């Protein structure tokens, strides 16, 4: 992990060398030099060109080795095949930071990957901090540093952009110029061969100019580190993520674009919840939150008053609020009294009715801003003959300095100029009220989850005997699995393990019982190696004989488990190692999991609030709470088992996968009836 000191020179270099600088318009080396000059970058710009001695009025050098002074940062835009030799020269010059603009590396196939590996080796040996390759560049608006070939330099703001796609970077910059949205830092990560999002999160967490971080991403280089650094950053500043590659087609396109493998999209969503990252479903949502966080003044809370000149938009807002679980508070008696001349039956949303004049808006907005129970006012307007949109826009701009006002001027031609005026005057304005409510609800969700304590460590002391057993195996028998899970307190039913019927004390067995293979096999039914509800000794002996034959037939060691039959609700609990860590899955067994996919997942470790959330996310949980049957099962014991499972897989990282299928939750206890554990090779 690069430290913040070395990253500092990427954003605040005192001197920068452009290797591949050019006098030819249309070339990347020309654009970068021009951008640095035009942005009034305070540091020294040093063009490097093997042929020209003067680049755009600046003295040029044939190599960084010929520059008679220290260089903080190199921006490299030469052909891919000579980039490694150029980086070696930078290392010789003791340049520790670089931005490699050049494409033609890992994203282009086998030869490009080889070239990228060669580059990695040089950079690692010389302990350099490098952005790219295949990047648009880096921008810092605070000091006029435009180390990119973008055609746009954004205005200064409080949002940082970290994007894997240079084209998306360009689109965001162009959108921001139109919408008057400002940025603090702008980072095009490129192929992420060296620095990645985790490094930038580390830096941006401490950056005083950055209040929120927006990320466009197609792949995750180091998922566990990404999760750790994102969680740390999100404790202080919201992270808004647009992660593409959600479908198979999208993953295929992402791989051809970046050369990197995508991650199971469901697990990305689980990771976002763990770290409190706001994951967007579209670029529209991404842009909406960017505008809101860029322009909206700090608000105390999310108690929103809505004012409108028509009933329809008010109903739409109420529906949108309900959909996104966003509450619109009731007005106080004082507020209702103050607006009764406008609407004698005032409620939230406040309908000013179709003949509302600008003065009615002014009165309503002032009253709502004065209400201490209201944090933000949302003004809706539709083009009506009595309502002058331009005048209402003027009123909103003037009053926005008191308590924040958002707006949605709904329509087309009649409201286009007022909408543009509001945006130009730094008022948050959405084309439709649904978009405004959704953006607010997403932001409220971030702050609500921020208050919930998350745990990232839940290990206990390892048992040396268990460690020894795990070293010698990569698949545990059921007996060994039970020994392991009992170690952390997970309950199992009364079970007798045996290989032949002669080992059993048949007279002591109480029926009914279940018989199954204990070899560690997952799909026992497929092999005829499980039978429940055996009622007597004769049936048991017949089943032992049959399963012994089936075991031999399928080349499975004859080893069996005889269990008491439990009465309870069948539940699935499992843990599997995925990209971001150990993923805990909870769901009701049988059709609920297999057909309905009614499950909830969290990344370990999980705490009480995580478990409560998992239970709430699974519709079948109602069956455990006595729905229809009136039987209430021991949910507290199940919660304890879930936490014990989380502790187990973190304490023993050798475990690759563990599945309890089923777990029986009874009226008094929770029991893992079967456990299949797979270890790492």
pLDDT band at 333 (very low <50, low <70, confident <90, very high): very high
Q: What is the mean pLDDT of residues 133-151?
A: 96
Enumerate long-range contacts of 461-467, CB under 8 Å, 24 or more apart: 461/651, 462/651, 462/652, 463/487, 466/652, 467/652, 467/654
pLDDT band at 595 (very low <50, low <70, confident <90, very high): low
CA distance 85 to 312: 66
pLDDT at 560: 96
pLDDT at 257: 45
Q: How far is CA 16 from CA 69, 379, 432, 595, in A?
A: 11, 48, 45, 59
Per-residue pLDDT tens over the stretch 525-538: 889 999 999 999 99
Kindly report which listed range (160-174, 408-422, 580-594) carries the lowest average pLDDT score: 580-594
pLDDT band at 631 (very low <50, low <70, confident <90, very high): confident
Per-residue pLDDT tens over the stretch 43-90: 999 999 999 999 999 999 999 999 999 999 999 999 999 999 999 999
Q: Which two tokens stand for residue 173?
A: 């910059």
Per-residue pLDDT tens over the stretch 86-135: 999 999 999 999 999 999 999 998 999 999 999 999 999 999 999 999 99
Return the CATH number of 569-679, one of 3.40.30.10, 3.40.50.720, 3.40.1410.10, 3.30.470.20.
3.30.470.20
pLDDT at 453: 74
- Whether residue 588 is predicted with pLDDT greater than 90 in this model: the reply is no
> What are the sequence ranges of the domains in the chain?
1-135, 154-295, 301-450, 569-679
Sequence-distant (≥ 6) Cβ neighbours of residue 143 within 8 angstroms:
11, 12, 41, 42, 43
pLDDT band at 465 (very low <50, low <70, confident <90, very high): confident
pLDDT at 298: 80
Per-residue pLDDT tens over the stretch 188-209: 999 999 999 999 999 999 999 9
CA distance 603 to 597: 18
pLDDT at 580: 94
Q: How far is CA 407 from CA 10, 392, 415, 489, 534, in A?
A: 38, 10, 12, 56, 69
pLDDT band at 325 (very low <50, low <70, confident <90, very high): confident
Q: Going by DSSP bridges, is the β-strand pair 530-534/513-517 parallel, antiparallel, or unpaired? A: antiparallel
Per-residue pLDDT tens over the stretch 344-379: 888 999 999 878 999 999 999 999 999 999 999 999
- Whether residue 553 is predicted with pLDDT greater than 50 in this model: the reply is yes
- DSSP code for 499: S
pLDDT at 344: 87
C-beta separation of 54 from 45 below 8 A: no
Short-list 534, 545, 535, 601, CA closest to 572: 601
Q: Which two tokens stand for residue 376?
A: 């933000």
Q: What is the mean pLDDT of residues 270-284?
A: 95
Which superfamily, per CATH, for 154-295? Succinyl-CoA synthetase domains (3.40.50.261)
Report the largest interatomic distance among the alpha carbons of the chain, rounded to a whole angstrom: 101
pLDDT at 251: 53
Higher pLDDT, 597 or 477: 477
Distance spanning both ends of the chain, measured CA to CA = 27
Q: Which two tokens stand for residue 396?
A: 């909103």
Q: What is the mean pLDDT of residues 295-323?
A: 92
CA distance 288 to 296: 12
- Whether residue 5 is predicted with pLDDT greater than 80 in this model: the reply is no
pLDDT band at 262 (very low <50, low <70, confident <90, very high): low
Specify the DSSP element, H or E, that contains 177. helix 166-179
pLDDT at 224: 94
Q: What is the mean pLDDT of residues 622-626?
A: 86
Classify 301-450 by CATH class. Answer: alpha beta
Does the domain spanning 1-135 belong to CATH 3.40.50.720?
yes
- Whether residue 463 is predicted with pLDDT greater than 60 in this model: the reply is yes
pLDDT at 377: 96
User: One fold for both 1-135 and 154-295?
Assistant: yes
Mean of per-residue pLDDT scores for the chain: 92
Q: What is the mean pLDDT of residues 422-434?
A: 96
Residue 599, Ramachandran bin (φ over 0: left; ψ between -120 and 50: alpha; else beta): beta
C-beta separation of 126 from 119 below 8 A: no
Q: What percentage of the chain reaches a pLDDT higher than 70?
A: 95
Higher pLDDT, 509 or 629: 509
């Amino acid at each position: 992990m690069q430290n913040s000191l070395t990253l500092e020179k990427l954003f605040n270099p005192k001197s920068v060398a452009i290797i591949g600088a050019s006098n030819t318009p249309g070339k990347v080396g020309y654009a970068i030099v021009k951008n640095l000059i035009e942005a009034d970058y305070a540091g020294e710009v040093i063009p490097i060109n093997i042929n020209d001695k003067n680049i755009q009025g600046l003295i040029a050098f044939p190599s960084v080795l010929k520059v008679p002074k220290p260089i903080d940062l190199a921006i490299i835009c030469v052909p891919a095949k000579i980039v490694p030799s150029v980086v070696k020269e930078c290392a010789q010059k003791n340049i520790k930071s670089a931005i490699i603009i050049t494409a033609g590396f890992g994203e282009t196939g086998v030869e490009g990957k080889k070239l990228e590996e060669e580059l990695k080796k040089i950079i690692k040996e010389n302990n350099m901090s490098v952005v790219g390759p295949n990047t648009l560049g880096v921008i810092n608006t605070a000091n006029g540093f435009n180390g990119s070939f973008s055609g746009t330099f954004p205005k200064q703001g409080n949002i940082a952009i970290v994007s894997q796609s240079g084209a998306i970077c360009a689109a965001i910059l162009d959108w921001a110029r139109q919408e008057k949205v400002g940025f603090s830092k702008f980072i095009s990560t490129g192929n992420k061969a060296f620095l990645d999002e985790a490094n930038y999160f580390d830096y941006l967490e401490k950056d005083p100019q950055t209040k929120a971080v927006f990320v466009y991403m197609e792949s995750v280089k180091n998922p566990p580190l990404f999760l750790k650094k994102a969680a740390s950053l999100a404790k202080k500043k919201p992270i808004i993520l647009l992660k593409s590659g959600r479908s198979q087609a999208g993953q295929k396109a992402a791989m051809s674009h970046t050369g990197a493998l995508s991650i199971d999209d469901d697990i990305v969503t689980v990771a976002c919840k763990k770290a409190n990252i706001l994951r967007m479903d579209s670029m529209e949502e991404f842009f909406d939150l960017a505008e809101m966080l860029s322009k909206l003044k700090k608000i105390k809370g999310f108690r929103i008053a809505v004012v409108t000149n028509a009933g329809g938009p008010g109903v739409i807002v109420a529906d949108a609020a309900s959909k996104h679980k966003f509450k619109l508070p009731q007005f106080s008696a004082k507020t209702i009294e103050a607006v009764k001349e406008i609407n004698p039956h005032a409620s939230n949303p406040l309908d000013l009715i179709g003949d509302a004049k600008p003065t009615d808006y002014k009165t309503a907005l002032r009253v709502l801003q004065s209400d201490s129970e209201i944090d933000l006012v949302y003004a809706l307007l539709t083009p009506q003959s009595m309502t002058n949109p331009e005048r209402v826009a003027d009123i909103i701009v003037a009053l926005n300095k008191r308590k924040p006002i958002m707006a949605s001027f709904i329509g087309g031609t009649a409201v286009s100029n007022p909408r543009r005026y509001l945006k130009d005057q730094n008022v948050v304005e959405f084309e439709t009220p649904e978009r405004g409510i959704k953006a607010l609800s997403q932001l409220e969700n971030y702050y609500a989850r921020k208050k919930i304590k998350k745990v990232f460590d839940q290990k206990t002391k390892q048992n040396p005997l268990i460690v020894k057993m795990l070293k010698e195996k990569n698949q545990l028998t059921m007996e060994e699995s039970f020994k392991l899970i009992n170690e952390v307190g997970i309950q199992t039913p009364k079970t007798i393990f045996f290989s032949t019927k002669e080992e059993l004390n048949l007279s002591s067995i109480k029926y009914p019982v279940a018989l199954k293979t204990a070899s560690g096999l997952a799909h026992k039914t497929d092999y005829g190696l499980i039978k429940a509800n055996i009622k007597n000794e004769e049936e048991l002996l017949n089943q032992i004989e049959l399963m012994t034959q089936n075991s031999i037939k399928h080349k499975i060691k004859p080893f069996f488990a005889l269990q008491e039959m439990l009465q309870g609700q069948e539940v699935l609990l499992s843990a599997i190692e995925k990209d971001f860590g150990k993923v805990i899955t909870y769901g009701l067994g049988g059709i609920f999991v297999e057909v309905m996919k009614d499950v909830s997942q969290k990344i370990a470790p999980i705490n009480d609030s995580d478990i409560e959330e998992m239970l709430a996310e699974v519709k079948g949980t109602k069956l455990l709470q006595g729905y229809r049957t009136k039987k209430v099962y021991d949910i507290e014991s199940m919660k304890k088992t879930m936490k014990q499972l989380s502790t187990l897989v973190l304490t023993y990282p050798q475990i690759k996968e563990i599945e309890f299928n089923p777990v029986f939750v009874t009226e008094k206890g929770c029991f893992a009836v079967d456990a299949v554990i797979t270890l790492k090779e």
